[in-house]
Amino acid sequence: MKTRKFGLALSLVLAAGTILGACGNSDEKDNNGAGGGEKEDKFSIAMVTDVGGVDDKSFNQSAWEGLQKFGKDNGLEKGTGYDYLQSQSDADYATNLNNLVRKDYSLIFGIGFMMMEAVDEIAKQQKDAHFAIVDAEVNQPNVASILFKEQEASFLAGVTAGLATKTKKIGFIGGVEGAVIERFESGFRAGVQAVNPEAAVDVKYSGAFDKAELGQTIAATMYSSGADVIFHAAGGTGNGLFKEARDLKKKDPSNLIWAIGVDSDQTAEGIVEIDGEEHNVIITSALKRVDNAVVDISKQAKEGNFPGGEITTYGLSEDGVGLAPINEELANKADIEAAVEEWKQKIVSGEITVPGTRDELKTFSAS
């Protein structure tokens, strides 16, 4: 399989208030099937979510926002031009992919590495259909594989955490263990190490991307053990982290505990109202621009340049990952912003290479 990097222009896909239609719209929450219909000459796109769901406020939602952005920018209608199918369990993946093939979508996205086997299986069976898989490599000529340098975004999140912590105890909550979440973990730990080598990072995995209650239980244990900053790379499970942080802050407003989001800017999940004033427990989020990648691959496919059989990788240099704005409530916000920019430039210039595995982390040096 060929590997290539494809640069993104942020201006193509970013705008303030980018579509958030994945939440709260009843007609988009129909889990029973995308519209499809009679085969048309018009280019069309669709996606299958993993079990996290289209409104996970994270990975799947970002992908859906990308589909909506591309669809509306190209005059497509939901249900025929762009749509999604939601998976309730792993068993739904292959069925949903086949359903979209039968509805003649021009390009079908499988969202998440857990869908790798299903995409590989259906791509072999449906050789005339075009697929794209996010966060995995499928070596088929009709599949475009999309990867990200998650470690680069999480490194910047680690820099933020390392400079924000007062207790020098930091937490990391992962979802299902695998290469993708290992990149998040390794980059985050490297970022903390780079700016605060005395800080300890407690790593725990929930084993799920859709269990908010597990995320809250893990977060409660970490906070009670002295952690004051926790970063999650756990999809919907991370919503439990935010709930625990909000609850603790509301119970004791003087409690300086923080959370860091993932994939999308999750600032809205950290709002706490105290004595009539809004506060926020989320410092920032490690951005993984799945929406950008979806738009980019869709654009290539529509123009007749579908990158089947190739791996397209998005990092800081390609505007495929990044860091959301820093919370105004941090006393050292300006110092953190300056440090984040400094380390970002070192990564983009190649001065440092962020570790993407635990083995690479063992030999990593920021000096």
> For the chain, how long is the longest CA-to-CA vector?
62
169 shares a domain with 294: no
266 shares a domain with 126: no
Angle between helices 290-302 and 59-73 (to 10 degrees): 40
213 shares a domain with 350: yes
Q: What are phi and psi of 65, to 5 degrees?
A: -60, -35
pLDDT digits 0-9 by tens, 122-165: 999 999 999 999 999 999 999 999 999 999 999 999 999 999 99
Is residue 194 situated within a structural domain? yes
pLDDT digits 0-9 by tens, 172-202: 999 999 999 999 999 999 999 999 999 999 9
Would you state the pLDDT for residue 1?
Answer: 54
Q: How far is CA 363 from CA 182, 186, 200, 284, 366, in A?
A: 16, 12, 17, 27, 10
State pTM to two decimals. Answer: 0.83
Running DSSP on this structure, what letter comes out for residue 235? G
pLDDT digits 0-9 by tens, 252-307: 999 999 999 999 899 999 999 999 999 999 999 999 999 999 999 999 999 999 99
- Tokens for 280, please give them: 């926020």
CB 159 within 8 A of CB 217: no
174 shares a domain with 120: no
202 shares a domain with 155: yes
- The rounded distance, in Å, linking the Cα atoms of 285 and 232 is 9
pLDDT digits 0-9 by tens, 294-319: 999 999 999 999 999 999 999 999 98
- For residue 186, give its domain range: 150-288+331-362
Instruction: Go through 307-330 and write b for each residue having 16 or more CB atoms within 10 A of its CB, e for each that does not.
Output: bbebbbbbbbbbbbbbbbebbeeb
Report how many domains make up the chain: 2
Is residue 326 situated within a structural domain? no
Arithmetic mean of pLDDT, 330-354: 97
Instruction: Go through 99-110 and write b for each residue having 16 or more CB atoms within 10 A of its CB, e for each that does not.
Output: bbbebebbbbbb
Instruction: State the distance between the two ends of the chain, measured CA to CA, in whole angstroms.
Output: 35
Q: What are phi and psi of 113, to 5 degrees?
A: -65, -20
Would you state the pLDDT for residue 13?
Answer: 38
Would you state the pLDDT for residue 53?
Answer: 86
Average pLDDT over the chain, rounded to an integer: 90
CB 267 within 8 A of CB 324: yes
Is residue 324 situated within a structural domain? no
257 shares a domain with 175: yes
Query: Is residue 302 within a helix (H) or strand (E), and if so which, with residue range?
Result: helix 290-302
- The rounded distance, in Å, linking the Cα atoms of 280 and 101 is 43
Q: How far is CA 147 from CA 22, 94, 112, 151, 283, in A?
A: 23, 21, 10, 12, 26
Give rounded-to-5 percent helix, strand, coil for the chain: 40, 20, 40
Q: How confident is the model at residue 31 (pLDDT cuts 50, 70, 90)?
A: very low
Place of tokens 């791996």: 311
Would you state the pLDDT for residue 11?
Answer: 35
The DSSP line for 19-70 is --TTSS-GGG--TT-----S--SS--EEEE--TT-TTSSSHHHHHHHHHHHH
Which CATH number covers residue 31?
3.40.50.2300
Whether 343 has a pLDDT exceeding 90, the answer reads yes
Would you state the pLDDT for residue 16?
Answer: 36
